[in-house]
Amino acid sequence: MSSTGHRTITVVSEDRKFDVSIEKYDNGFFISIFEGSKKLGATIMSIGTGPSPSSSTIIPIRDDAVFLKLVSQKIASEFRGICIVSLSVQKELGSSAGKVLIEKITEAVRE
């Protein structure tokens, strides 16, 4: 992605369709992942300017908390900035869908 901008990708995994909206800023990213209707959901923020990323939950989630934290910290660390990730899904992701989403999101933010 260029220095700032917006990008939307669609990820299909295990017969489920996820839309991912990526907003890039000079100092970080806002990433919204949703399945079905476009909603904000559980949200976590990470900052990756120190030796290890620091995270804070804004809107908690019972399932998929590790997925949210992993995506947020990975992007914040790689780009040495802030990453806010929101997740709204119809049911728990599961490891396969989570892995595919992480791969596709990482590819998209690097382009």
Q: Where are the domains of the chain?
A: 5-110
Q: Look at residue 68 and tell me whether its pLDDT is greater than 80.
A: yes
Q: Is 95 helix (H, G, I), strand (E, B) or coil?
A: helix
Q: Does domain 5-110 have CATH number 3.40.640.10?
A: no
* Res 9: pLDDT: 96
Amino acid code (one letter) for 9: I
- Check whether 69 has a pLDDT greater than 60: yes
Residue 109, pLDDT score: 95
Mean pLDDT within 85-109 = 94
Q: Is the pLDDT of residue 4 over 80?
A: no
| Residue whose C-alpha is closest to residue 23's, from 98, 87, 101, 108 | 108
Average pLDDT over residues 56-60: 95
Task: Specify which residues 85 forms β-bridges with.
Answer: 31, 44
Instruction: Report pLDDT for 86.
Output: 97
Q: Tell me what pLDDT residue 62 has.
A: 84
SS3 readout for the chain:
CCCCEEEEEEEEECCEEEEEEEEEECCEEEEEEECCCCCCCEEEEEECCCCCCEEEEEECCCCCHHHHHHHHHHHHHHHCCEEEEEEECCCCCCHHHHHHHHHHHHHHHHC
Q: Which of 30-39, 59-68, 70-79 has the lowest mean pLDDT?
A: 59-68
Query: Rounded to two decimals, what is the model's pTM?
Result: 0.91
Quick one: average pLDDT of 66-70?
A: 94
